[in-house]
Amino acid sequence: MNIKNFICVVLFLTYSGIQYSQWIPTNGPATGSVKCLTVSGVNIFAGTFENGIYRTTNNGSSWNAVNNGITNQNILSIIASGTNIFAGTFGSGVFRSTDNGNSWISVSSIYQLQSVYCFGVSGNYLFAGTDLNGVYLTTNNGESWVQASNGITNTMIRALKANGSTIFAGTQGGVFKSSNNGTSWFPSNNGMPAEWVSSFSISGSFIFVSTFGYGAYRSSDNGASWIGINAGLTNPYIREITSEGNNLLAGTANGMFRSTNNGNSWIENNSGLTNHDITSFVKSGTPVFAGTPGGVFISSNFGTSWSGVNNGLTNPPLLSLAALGSNIIAGTAGLGVFHTSNNGTNWSTGYIGALNPFVRTLIAVDINLFAGTDNGVYISTNGGLQWFAANNGLTNFNIRCLTASTNRIFAGTAGGVFYSSDNGNSWIQINSGLTNIDIKTVLQISDRLFAGTGGGVFFSTDNGSNWQIANNGLTNLNISTINFINNKIFAGTNTGVFLSTNNGSSWSPFNNGLGNQNVYTLIKVSDYLIAGTGGGVFLTGSSANTWVERNQGFVPTPQVLSFLSANDYLFAGTQSNYVWKRLISNIIGINTISSEIPEHFELYQNYPNPFNPVTKIRFDIPKSGIVNIFVYDVLGKEISTLVNQQLQPGTYEADWNASNFSSSIYYYKIISGDYMQTKKMVLIK
């Protein structure tokens, strides 16, 4: 073997060991949902929905959050005006920064200035377009505002742009313009429909306007008349338009279009874009930046090609995960669903159709996928690509959980439990006996149906027709998740886990090794229970009386909100830190054999030995401390970490799955404090 091949083999083995012995991040499913962009000198600002404002000083190579003073991080619009930066929010008006985003103050002195969708600047005049109250004007950098909407008949303002002394306002009822700084406005829709205007752009003597549903229009007479410029523009739902010389870019809800002749013809060009829902543009010198729900993209050739620049932009909370065939679907808080067919190597958006973007829960039932959202239940019959509402009979649309039994689907809502026996076509409420209808989780265990609520645990023995309370021993009644292994039922709360060994008749705390963690989710894998918490992942066995940490590879340790067991992996959805994955065989590879305190450290011979492909390694720990067990190949290269955690005194057993390694001699070593011991094992395939 030459040295080049030798290095390749070593690197492959090392990478394989890392991959299978700890958590690794998948590539997404998305970066920050960018709603708006602006440039101020060398600074580019990105306003996101739910994650506030980010700033880059190196053309997007890295971003940093700049939210000091921002009390509402749902940013809809942002603009630079002189030395000031203004940010419009969803529901909290305008914030201003005078120090390049390092700090912000609220400058919304009028109650009606609530959701601010756009800004426009003309000299010392700053205009703000609101959702329901028209246009507001300030001449003192936001210290005071006056309403300036006289003549505007549609007060839903979506775009503002100044062309010399003329101000244009794009509304959901067409274009209006003012030549007296907003004192009065007049319709300007000759040649175009008086419909939803989304943006303006100016290049030379041309003014361009985009609409959401009617394509693009151009004016050469300052808005006195417009002509349609839609040849080749196959998607008329344009969110943003920008121009440079004779070149135009139109960002739609489903792709990018480019024109090199002032809009006379268009071609679709999504080269390098991994998210096609374009929400905003900004130019900074030569580069042009595009904001999407999947982060920011940059082009140095005005849209011919794009590349992602998202380092530092946070990600949406991953609330739910489901598997349908070989596909994995992730539900997010605010960005709908994403799906992957290659275990997370690539993710694609599945937010198509009527789906509400806040997806709390997902389940697969036969060929159908059900999503529980803040606005009811949705069904997809094609793997999450298209969605349809399925709310017939629901009286509460705030869906917290979905679960399927043999012939029913149960929906837990903020208004009780509902069931469907016809695949979601209709729902029936079943709240009899529920003294708390704030349902967080529903689970069928044998012949009982359990519901975890904001007021404790309830159970039903007749498929939910009648409920009984089961709170004996619970000192925290805010139940977030319920699951079971063998005859043990576990209830997760925001202060740890409670255990029942008598079908819910009584409960006791079960937090040894876990502490008072906020427990978001529990999943059963084989004879193990795995908890997703505010401090990562913990595991317990059916015969264990403690939890063991399973956070190897997490940097930093995330809040784990959801789990999915699929394709030999456990997938973990986190709070704004991607979906991660780890081989199940590695996660459940350690078990507590006994809690009796051994007399001394001991590393036993693995068994079976030789083995193919799984072997067990038992060891004694006489005192608490960090324990590491590593596996090495015959060259002495570390290829796997079996144990890397704090352990209490006792006897333990770890599994090593060598299915991805070739027949050979391997070594395993234990290290704990000053104790160290190594033994040999043989893999024969």
Q: Starting at the earlier edge strand, list the strands of the sheet with 448-453.
A: 439-445, 448-453, 456-460, 468-469
- pLDDT over threshold 60, residue 15: no
For the segment 437-442, the average pLDDT, to the nearest whole number, is: 97
Instruction: Identify the structural domains of the chain with CATH numbers, from first to last.
Output: 34-304 (2.130.10.10), 315-429 (2.130.10.10), 590-683 (2.60.40.1930)
On the CB side of 358, CA atoms within 13 Å amount to 10
Q: Quote the percentage of the chain above a pLDDT of 90.
A: 61
Nearest to 359 by CA among 390, 381, 327, 331: 331
What is the structure's pLDDT at 543? 67
The predicted-structure confidence for 634-675, as pLDDT tens digits, reads as follows: 999 988 778 876 788 999 988 887 866 889 999 999 999 999
What is the structure's pLDDT at 351? 52
Q: Which residues contact 650 (CB under 8 A, 6 or more apart)?
A: 592, 593, 594, 595, 596, 597, 598, 620, 621
Q: What span, in angstroms and rounded, lies between the C-alpha atoms of 264 and 404?
A: 54
Q: Which of 12-26, 163-177, 489-503 has the lowest mean pLDDT?
A: 12-26
Is-contact 257 267, C-beta < 8 A? yes
Nearest to 181 by CA among 190, 169, 172, 171: 169
Report angle CA 93, 97, 101 to the nearest 5 degrees: 115
Higher pLDDT, 507 or 388: 507
User: What is the number of other CB atoms lying within 10 angstroms of the CB of residue 625?
Assistant: 13
pTM (predicted TM-score): 0.57
What are 519's two structure tokens? 């427990």
Q: What CA–CA distances, in Å, run from 223 to 162, 220, 228? A: 12, 7, 13
- pLDDT over threshold 70, residue 12: no
DSSP 572: E
Is-contact 90 118, C-beta < 8 A? no
- pLDDT band of residue 423 (cuts 50, 70, 90) is very high
Q: Which residues contact 372 (CB under 8 A, 6 or more apart)?
A: 320, 359, 360, 361, 362, 399, 400, 401, 402, 411
The predicted-structure confidence for 483-509, as pLDDT tens digits, reads as follows: 999 889 999 999 999 999 999 999 999
What is the structure's pLDDT at 11? 28
Q: Starting at the earlier edge strand, list the strands of the sheet with 337-340.
A: 318-324, 327-332, 337-340, 348-349
DSSP 387: B
Nearest to 64 by CA among 338, 354, 404, 312: 312
Q: What span, in angstroms and rounded, lies between the C-alpha atoms of 662 and 18?
A: 16
- pLDDT over threshold 90, residue 159: yes
On the CB side of 385, CA atoms within 13 Å amount to 6
- pLDDT band of residue 350 (cuts 50, 70, 90) is low
Q: Which residues contact 42 (CB under 8 A, 6 or more apart)?
A: 57
On the CB side of 259, CA atoms within 13 Å amount to 25
In one letter, which amino acid is 676?
M
What is the structure's pLDDT at 528? 84
Is-contact 466 432, C-beta < 8 A? yes
Nearest to 85 by CA among 75, 98, 66, 73: 98
Q: Is 578 left (phi over 0), alpha (psi -120 to 50) or beta?
A: left
What are 590's two structure tokens? 């350690």
Nearest to 353 by CA among 325, 326, 324, 382: 382
Q: What span, in angstroms and rounded, lies between the C-alpha atoms of 181 and 79?
A: 18
DSSP-H helix ranges across 526-675: 584-587
User: What is the number of other CB atoms lying within 10 angstroms of the CB of residue 193?
Assistant: 16
What is the structure's pLDDT at 450? 98
In one letter, which amino acid is 163?
N
The predicted-structure confidence for 41-90, as pLDDT tens digits, reads as follows: 889 999 987 778 999 998 888 888 899 999 888 899 999 998 899 999 99
- First-to-last C-alpha distance (Å) of the chain: 22
By residue count, the chain amounts to 685
What does the DSSP assignment read for 24-49?
EE-S-S----EEEEEEETTEEEEEEB
Residue 10, phi then psi, degrees to nearest 5 = -60, -45
Is-contact 621 647, C-beta < 8 A? yes
The predicted-structure confidence for 514-573, as pLDDT tens digits, reads as follows: 999 999 999 998 778 999 999 999 998 776 678 888 887 787 788 999 999 988 789 999
Q: Which of 147-161, 405-419, 510-524, 579-593 has the lowest mean pLDDT?
A: 579-593
Nearest to 547 by CA among 530, 535, 527: 530
Q: Which residues contact 249 (CB under 8 A, 6 or more apart)?
A: 241, 242, 243, 256, 257, 258, 259, 281, 288, 290, 302, 303
Q: Is 163 exposed, middle or buried (0-12, 13-18, 19+ CB in 10 A)?
A: middle
Local structure of 407: helix, strand or coil = coil
Cα 608 off chain centre by: 43
- pLDDT band of residue 378 (cuts 50, 70, 90) is very high
Q: What span, in angstroms and rounded, lies between the C-alpha atoms of 306 and 290?
A: 9
What does the DSSP assignment read for 656-677?
EE-TTS-SEEEEEEEEETTEEE
